[in-house]
Amino acid sequence: MPIVIRPLGLRDYEPVWSEMKSFTDQRRADTPDEIWILQHPPVFTLGLNGKSEHILDAGDIPVVNCDRGGQVTYHGPGQIIVYLLLDIRRRELGVKALVTKIEQAIIDLLLTQGIDGQRREGAPGIYVGNAKIAALGLRIRKGCSYHGLSVNVDMDLTPFSRINPCGYEGLASTQIIDLNDCPPSLDDLSTVLVKALTKTVQAPL
């Protein structure tokens, strides 16, 4: 069954989160999986395991307590957001296998830009050296996933200094524009990433 790709543009976080939950609650055994591609206005999101002390100084940026896994992260314009609404039970995918596939798709995207992205044991996401370039956090309900991943492309990284990203004090953040002077557009990078995700999610284990 093909995956439906939905480009959503720039959307506020909370309405999209609500739509993800509704989609997951209402889907049936024959509902096609979907991948949503978008950007968010500035927002800090705090996952189920999140501790408020990791938000050092939110300032004028809103904080949303959400139901994904993980700690605190930042979303803002210039960052690719991809939400994966997948029936992982139907695809016979475990959560760990799904995370591995997502991370591999991000690594493959970065390789197209000459960037060597790496996994870190016990710290989901992708790193370049000691700096984080991509984050991921999922929620599994009724055998289906929602939430997803973010990749820093060409954004203001300053808000990351107002938090302990993913709960790690002093964790540096980086982005594609700082590692490749002439990257493709955000839309083009999103297309490459979604193709990689679609391929790896549908590939046999």
- Cα torsion angle, 19, 39, 85, 50, sign: negative
The answer to whether 10 and 40 are in contact (CB under 8 A) is yes
Q: What single DSSP character describes residue 55?
A: B
Listed by start position, the domains of the chain span 4-202
Active site includes 166? yes
Q: Which residues of the chain have pLDDT under 50?
A: none
Residues 6+ apart with CB under 8 A from 129: 174
Catalytic residue among 66, 144, 166, 182: 166
> Which architecture does CATH list for 4-202?
2-Layer Sandwich (3.30)
Distance of CA 171 to the CA centre of its chain: 17
What tens digit of pLDDT does each residue of 103-118 get? 999 999 999 999 999 9
- C-alpha distances (whole Å) from 163 to each of 55, 118, 132 are 5, 22, 13
Q: What is the pLDDT of residue 205?
A: 61
